[in-house]
Homo-oligomer: A and B are copies of this chain.
């Protein structure tokens, strides 16, 4: 593992110089924090990441969870991790003061997520799941539920989970069949099966509390009949002792990566005594879960960018140290070899990684800032932030998730044969990051959400707001000679985007919904590149502002490198939209008319 896993300088650049995160602290909701909190969070999380998470990163992969005698055993360091994340207040960071949280802006609260997952992605999930589960209870649970469960999740004594998927209901969550039958005691009897549930059993916590979707008997079919339940592994019996809740772990899945965290299969109510407690109102479970899913999607984007960052720093260190070959114009074999970072093709691979990672982070922090602004404002302003956040969330999940695969692959390529061997943990990052286009909604599902729902919702209001944001950045950049070229390129890209959206919406208006959505995934890719180009322009604007004010000598390298990564994105990534636009504008329903039997021969 390289000593460095993320750039603290870049984090501070994004937070302070691009997004002015300290200004969030002026809102009453966050005003109990001082501006020092940002640096403090970064410093403490870095220390914990390096001291606690990095040392067991490879170990947790090589010694994945075991399923023995009906129970799951995980790496022992998870116990200390949960305790320290509890004691350090990491799990409760963004929760409200009312429930014992610290009510930090989401923007600040996600910094540890980024750092921890760069340090050890699998490990970072255990406390991360608690944040999500506690937040659901905080938002929709009863006072008793809050009092009972939230402190146990915040302290790390218990593990939280999200339990949605069933064997027959993955992407099609409306098809879940786990049932909940109301008893006269007020709780429900739960019966069914859940699969792919992260961390739903392990030996480093006292208990597990599953936030589970199930269908109350007699509920309407599909998405409208799903309710949310608290289904703990052990429940409180008489006198407050924990007793089994008839929840059986059937097994764990063996995965290519993300091996440090167990993914379990659960059977509920085999003996007719698995109790669940309804959260909020009946049949509203999906809308509740969507809140958690939206945050989870940003977390996934963060995880992907983090893994790519860790891999990038391994490749950076390696390419600086590995001598191989000579300058292309001086092949004299008697002179010493040069470090491979001197080769243009290696610099291309390194700049590509920066373009992806730093561009992704820009988009992600853009979304966390929108979340914070939404929570801190009212009325029309709030609606604006909310719409923009809705529009961008699937993109902020998908762009990093998909592009981190390419980014880590280029990191691996920088190491040649060594990258393919486990002497360096890049191959682990390569395996780990492949999960991200799958979980928390596949790329296909995110793309249908973006095009089929978000672009067109409220007559395109979110999309129009987005265009205004991009236009504002372009307007600012146009007048700066260093950025005018890229501002113009982005302007053309936006014209292309409007053309494509107009074309596709035209198809939808004619009622050809199948055709409208057939290339949704390609549209996602297209939109993602343009959204990240916008973020890169915002970053370049911040660099120019800093340089105008006069940067310190130590910062000059950083700003120069940043401008190179910015130029790289515009020179090598943005042009990719040309071909995508061509495909999107000429789509003739090829994939619709293709029949399954034509795949046979």
Residue numbers of A with Cβ under 8 A of B are 7, 9-10, 165, 168-172, 174-175, 195-196, 221-223, 253-258, 263, 316, 320, 323-329, 331-334, 337, 339, 341-348, 350-351, 354, 405, 409, 412-413, 416-417, 419-423, 427, 430-431, 434-435, 437-439, 442-444, 447-448, 513-514, 517-522, 557-558, 560-561, 564, 567-568, 571-572, 575-580, 582-583, 586-588, 590-592, 594, 596-601
Contacts and interface: CB of A to CB of B under 8 A. Distances in A.
Contact of A413 (B443, B448, B579, B583): B443
A583 B571 contact: yes
Contact of A438 (B175, B416, B430, B568): B416
23 contacts: A168-B323, A168-B337, A172-B326, A174-B333, A195-B417, A222-B333, A253-B423, A256-B427, A256-B431, A257-B420, A327-B514, A328-B448, A329-B514, A344-B592, A347-B591, A413-B442, A420-B434, A557-B597, A561-B600, A561-B601, A564-B590, A571-B586, A576-B576
A594 B520 contact: no
Given A417-B196, A434-B409, A591-B344, A221 B333 contact: yes
A517 B195 CA distance: 51
A389 to B, nearest CB: 25
Contacts of A172: 324-326, 337
A576 B579 contact: yes
A4 to B, nearest CB: 10
A544 to B, nearest CB: 16
A520 B345 contact: yes
Given A221-B334, A256-B422, A572-B583, 8 more contacts: A171-B325, A253-B417, A328-B514, A341-B596, A344-B514, A348-B591, A571-B586, A576-B576
A421 B255 contact: yes
Nearest to A327: B514
A313 to B, nearest CB: 10
A575 B571 contact: no
A580 B567 CA distance: 16
A600 B553 CA distance: 13
A172 B599 CA distance: 44
A442 B420 contact: no
A483 B578 CA distance: 23
B580 A333 contact: no
* Copies of this chain per assembly: 2
Nearest to A334: B221
Nearest to A574: B579
Given A521-B345, A582-B578, A571 B596 contact: no
Contacts of A7: 601
A254 B421 contact: yes
Q: Which 7 residue pairs spanning A and B have beta carbons closest together? A: A222-B333, A575-B579, A561-B598, A578-B578, A256-B427, A558-B601, A9-B601
A328 B513 contact: yes
A423 B196 CA distance: 13
B557 A351 contact: no
Nearest to A354: B599
Contacts of A594: 347, 351, 561, 564
Contacts of A419: 438
A28 B348 CA distance: 49
Given A438-B419, A575-B583, A329 B599 contact: no
A522 B568 CA distance: 13
A170 B434 CA distance: 28
Nearest to A439: B417
Contact of A600 (B444, B557, B582): B557
Contact of A337 (B175, B255, B423, B513): B175
B557 A601 contact: yes
A333 B327 CA distance: 64
B221 A256 contact: no
A341 B596 CA distance: 6
Nearest to A320: B596
A288 B452 CA distance: 59
B333 A223 contact: yes
A438 B420 contact: yes
Contacts of A521: 345, 348
Contacts of A519: 348
Nearest to A586: B571
A421 B601 contact: no
Contacts of A580: 575
Contacts of A420: 255-258, 434-435, 438
A437 B406 CA distance: 13
Contacts of A351: 590-591, 594
B587 A571 contact: yes
B416 A170 contact: yes
A442 B599 CA distance: 33
A513 B571 CA distance: 20
A228 to B, nearest CB: 18
